[in-house]
Structure 1
Amino acid sequence: MLGLEYFSFEAKWSPVFLAFMLLVTAGYFLLTGPLSSMFQGSKPVSAGRKVLFVSGMLAMYMAHGGPVDLLGHTMFSFHMVSMALSYLMATPLLILGIPVWMWRAIERKNPFKKLGFLTRPILASVVFNGLFSFYHIPVIHDFVMLNFTVHRIYYVILFISSFTMWWAIIQPIPEKDKSSGLLKMGYIFLNMVLLTPACALIIFAPEPLYATYSDPNTWAKAMGYCVPGDTSYLLEQFGGPAFFGYLAPEIDQRVGGITMKFFQEIIFASMLAYVFFHWYKRENKEDDPIPTEPPTSKLNQA
């Protein structure tokens, strides 16, 4: 399916990265379970929160180690699915999946407190969307895809910037949450707007922008990130990325831009609903009248 049958188990499933992700997940369950007493104020973690964390880890694995990662090197549309999974879906799921008492412990021992200004909403939004847009400038994208050390470093930086962007929206530590619901909703709209130019550039480009997905030689070199060993045989066996693509390169590129925009709209719309619900709930709680006399006193008087 989609050419996956032509690649080895190692290329499709990245067993080393899978083992790392399973190890991190096992550590999470140990720290939130048998070892939770190590943390001040620890409480049992709900099944829902655990599901959020595991879903975040699964999304991150699929984006950077599973078949989606491999397909993202043969089709631009899958590359955009990978980006959406890792930076728009996995990050908020992981933040929400970690319990508040663990975040408080991390906050107390955080050696990077002086860098807290990076989580300021507007700055975090500009940095993440700027890095994302910069990465998709054709010459930059092809350079990153062909230089594997730079590739890994850039993806880590993108993850950190997406974390600071989502942290400003979610802010899982209640006493640190100083922004009103209206401000957060405005911030979400800002993120939706800032990513639009990059998506528009990709969607409305009249020709393929990225050599990684249109030039066979560049594609074969870029495949070295997923396929171990010499990748020159890929040219002899398949001829280029067109062998795997069921869409012409320019159509695949447009589908990729639309896919990213679609994912962004759905995820941020869901986050708008989440923020509005919690803002509405908090506002109504603050507006509830405080009874001057307990109900039991009135019953006793009667």
Structure 2
Amino acid sequence: MPSAYHAIFEEWSPPIFLTTMTILTAIVYTRGWFAIRKTRRAQFPDWRLASFLGGLAVLWLSIGSPMDGFADTSLSAHMVEHLLLMSFVPPLVLLGQPSVPLLRGLPRPVLRYIIGPLIRMKPLRHLGHFLITPVVAWLLMNIFFLSWHIPSAYDFALEHELVHDIEHLCFLFSSILFWWPLIRPWPTTLKPLGWMMIPYLVLADLVNTALSAFLAFCGRPVYSFYLHEPNPFGASPLADQAAGAAIMWVIGSLVFLIPVVFLTIQMLQPKGRSGYALD
């Protein structure tokens, strides 16, 4: 166990592309945040900058740090990685109201000749509006979540680095779509759905609970990949699977149910707003 544990740190090196893109995104957002803050100071307080940069930091931690190496040899570490990608990075990034600051932070030639024409393309705008509708966003997130946890797909992703990267992109992209109707970052035109967001979250929690319960109580290792890899924590494949299921079950449920409580209290207030946003 100690040798497997230390080998992960010895083999790790910062991923150049991910690290570079994370830093550049942070610079672009920060530049745009300072620019828009001059005219919308109340709308862009310091915590929004901290939230967006925190989301980028968690993103890098989950797939750019040695944690990714642990995820390759431990199911419980892999579940932590997935939780960070799907349940922590998207809300943090969206609470930063990223759309306008990212656009304002880009160099003018890039915005004028590349991003601007893309934004003005009606098919792309219609596609974007379609993807963030609650039904579509909910289905995409949960379909990707369940599909990538099918044993054959899960093992194949771990055996092929490119496929593993695609898996991470699917989780991140679909989870941003999932959290979008809840947070509704400005300047989205998506209308609030009020009480409908309660089943939206509860049903997502049921999907997470079902998968977690299966992994916890099936009584056998589900993913054969871990049978051939030395566990860095010295746990057996079955014990590691049970630990990963517990992490996904408990923390995953809290991520869904805490907003349910928040929204319920907010909408029960006699003089509350007719709309809502988790901001």
User: How high is the TM-score relative to the length of structure 1?
Assistant: 0.74
Match of 2:230 in 1: 241
Q: Which residue pairs with 2:56 in the alignment?
A: 57
Residues 129-169 of structure 1: per-residue CA shift (max 9 Å, x gap): 11111111111111122122222223212221111111122
Instruction: Select 2:226's aligned residue among 213, 216, 220.
Output: 213
Taking the aligned partners of 2:265 and 2:33, their CA distance within structure 1 comes to 27
Gaps of 5+ in 1: 216-239, 287-302
Matched, 1:24 2:52: no
Amino acid at match of 2:173: I
The 1:255–1:211 alpha-carbon spacing in structure 2 relative to 1, beyond 3 Å, is same
**Alpha-carbon distance in structure 2 between the residues aligned to 1:260 and 1:214:** 21
- 1:259 is aligned to 2:247: yes
Q: CA deviation at 1:172?
A: 1.8
In the alignment, what sits opposite 1:154? 167
For residues 139 and 259 of structure 1, what CA distance do their matches in structure 2 show? 22
Report sequence identity in percent: 24
Seen in structure 2, the aligned counterparts of structure 1 residues 102 and 25 have a Cα distance that, compared at 3 Å, is closer
* Equivalent position amino acid for 2:252 in 1: Q
Q: How does 1:264-279 map to 2 (within 5 A)?
A: 264-276=252-264, 278-279=266-267
Deviation at residue 19 of structure 1 after TM alignment: 3.4
Higher RCO (CA 8 Å, separation ≥ 6 residues): 2
Change (3 A) 1:282 1:83: farther
| CA root-mean-square deviation | 3.0
- Structure 1 position 145 matched with structure 2 position 132: no
How many Å apart are 1:18 and its aligned residue? Answer: 2.7
State the SS of the aligned residue for 2:222.
coil
Counting only pairs closer than 5 Å after superposition, residues 81-230 of structure 1 correspond to structure 2 as: 81-98=80-97, 101-102=100-101, 109=119, 111=121, 112-115=124-127, 116-173=129-186, 176-215=189-228
Q: CA deviation at 1:29?
A: 0.7
Distance of aligned partners of 1:125 and 1:110 in 2 relative to their CA distance in 1, 3 Å threshold: farther
Assess if the C-alpha contact under 8 Å between 1:87 and 1:162 holds in 2.
Answer: yes
Q: 3-state DSSP class of the match of 1:195?
A: helix
Partners of 1:66 and 1:206 lie apart in 2 by 32
User: CA–CA distance in 2 between the matches of 1:119 and 1:282?
Assistant: 29
Q: Is the Cα–Cα contact under 8 Å of residues 4 and 67 in structure 1 kept in the other structure? A: no
**Which blocks of at least 5 consecutive residues in structure 2 are unaligned?**
105-114, 275-279
- Per-residue deviation, 1:12: 5.5
**Is the contact between residue 148 and residue 154 of structure 2 (CA under 8 Å) also seen in structure 1?**
yes
- Cα shift readout 1:210-258 (whole Å, capped 9, x = no counterpart): 122112xxxxxxxxxxxxxxxxxxxxxxxx414x233211011011111
Query: CA 1:8/1:67 → structure 2, altered by over 3 Å: closer, same or farther?
Result: closer
1:196–1:261 CA contact under 8 A, matched in 2: yes
C-alpha displacement of 1:283: 4.7
TM-score normalized with structure 2 length? 0.80
- CA distances 1:50-84 after superposition (whole Å, capped 9, x unpaired): 11112211111111111221111121000000000
Structure 2 residue identity aligned to 1:271: P
How far residue 182 of structure 1 moved from its aligned partner, in angstroms, is 1.1
CA distance in 1, matches of 2:260, 2:244: 24
1:100–1:275 Cα change, 3 Å: farther
Q: Does structure 2 retain, via aligned residues, the 8 Å contact 1:4–1:12?
A: no
**Corresponding pairs, count:** 258
Whether the aligned pair in 2 keeps the contact of 1:52 and 1:97 (CA below 8 Å) is yes
Answer yes or no: is the 8 Å Cα contact 1:43–1:101 preserved in 2.
no
Residues 29 and 251 (structure 1 numbering): CA distance in 2 closer, same or farther, change over 3 Å? same
Alpha-carbon separation, structure 1, partners of 2:248 and 2:92: 18
What letter matches 1:114 in structure 2?
H
